[in-house]
Chains A and B, each alone.
Chain A
């Protein structure tokens, strides 16, 4: 079972908390970009020099990367590789799995170091997990999922999307 049921729903409060965790990580780790994606490649939140990157592609490729690495792990009998690190000439990418379903990505250059990033990521990951747990218990309390904003969608609404 996935922790949040089939659909992950995030509200303002959790979104704000996640954003502030990422903001702190971004500063403390001296990172260029910090972002959080789910394992399906959907970007959840991000912080940093985002104008310079294609965040959507970054999210999707990160998820693909993690999925492939997960596959590798299982092949050799590991549950997962919880940390991936890619070292470049200028920039490096540190990827870690949070609570088995989210991916925390930190992009940094020589102004930071792998040791510092690892240290700060550990703290941030614990905080993100806490927010996630809060979302789970909230969802359990509320029982029913909130009414979808699409509950009353019509064929016309959908057709309108496809007219250029």
Chain B
């Protein structure tokens, strides 16, 4: 749910990174944080366990400059990927404007990818959203690992609606901004339609 403030001429949009545990959602945010000019970003907040697993969410406010005289801010969130944090995931999807699904390319994680995608659809529905109608992009992460599942195979398994899909190596930044941009674009176009 974007928030347009005509008085201060700014617009805030919420983008959520979703996907199975240890898939690289937080790493995406960390890379974006590192590569963004200090004046364009806020603090990266991570509510994580002592072992750096996301407990509730990571949050990064990003200021992308002006569009048509409105300051455009994206609030990036990640969800905790671990299965048992489902209640928290549901909360974070509230008011979402766009979703990025970060899939893990390792063979052993294919089931987890599918389960997480189903979980995303389910939790969106519970929040009154339909993935089919929501700005959405997919990212196949960890492409550099030996034995990564072939792109085509992953695409067949995980493609939901012909969404833009990117191959990524998040710690090196490969595909990170491309994925974000693909969703941001859809979110802004969606605003234009309203």
Residues of B within 8 A of A153 (CB): 67-68, 188-189, 191-192
**Are A161 and B67 within 8 A (Cβ)?**
yes
What is the interface of chain B mostly: helix, strand, loop, or mixed? mixed
> A74 vs B113: C-alpha distance in the bound complex, in angstroms?
29
Q: How far is the CB of A139 from chain B (nearest CB, A)?
A: 13
Chain B window 156-192, contacts with chain A (Cβ cutoff 8 Å), 1 for yes, 0 for no: 0000000000000000000001000100110011011
**Are B5 and A7 within 8 A (Cβ)?**
no
Is A148's CB within 8 Å of the partner chain B?
yes
**Are B1 and A8 within 8 A (Cβ)?**
yes
Residues of B within 8 A of A64 (CB): 47, 56-57, 59, 91-92
Contact of A16 with B181 at beta-carbon distance under 8 Å, contacts A68-B91, A161-B65 already known: no
**Are A57 and B42 within 8 A (Cβ)?**
yes
Residues of B within 8 A of A16 (CB): 7
**Are A158 and B67 within 8 A (Cβ)?**
yes
**Are B75 and A60 within 8 A (Cβ)?**
yes
Picked from A12, A42, A71, the residue with its CB within 8 Å of the CB of B12 is: A42
Residues of A within 8 A of B7 (CB): 10-12, 15-16
Is B146's CB within 8 Å of the partner chain A?
no
Which chain A residue shows the least CB distance to B96?
A40
Is A73's CB within 8 Å of the partner chain B?
no
Which chain A residue shows the least CB distance to B8?
A15
> A45 vs B188: C-alpha distance in the bound complex, in angstroms?
23
Contact of A10 with B42 at beta-carbon distance under 8 Å, contacts A60-B75, A155-B185 already known: no
Residues of B within 8 A of A157 (CB): 67-68, 188
Picked from A7, A8, A148, A160, the residue with its CB within 8 Å of the CB of B192 is: A148
Chain B window 2-24, contacts with chain A (Cβ cutoff 8 Å), 1 for yes, 0 for no: 11111110011010000000000
Chain A window 38-73, contacts with chain B (Cβ cutoff 8 Å), 1 for yes, 0 for no: 111110100000000010110011001001101100
**Are B3 and A40 within 8 A (Cβ)?**
yes
Picked from B61, B91, B193, the residue with its CB within 8 Å of the CB of A71 is: B91
Residues of B within 8 A of A2 (CB): 1
Q: Which 7 A-B pairs have the closest CB atoms?
A: A40-B95, A15-B7, A42-B3, A67-B91, A161-B64, A150-B192, A150-B191
Known: A7-B1, A57-B61, A149-B70. 15 other contacts (CB 8 A): A7-B2, A8-B1, A10-B6, A38-B3, A42-B3, A56-B75, A57-B45, A64-B47, A71-B88, A148-B191, A150-B192, A153-B67, A153-B68, A158-B188, A161-B64
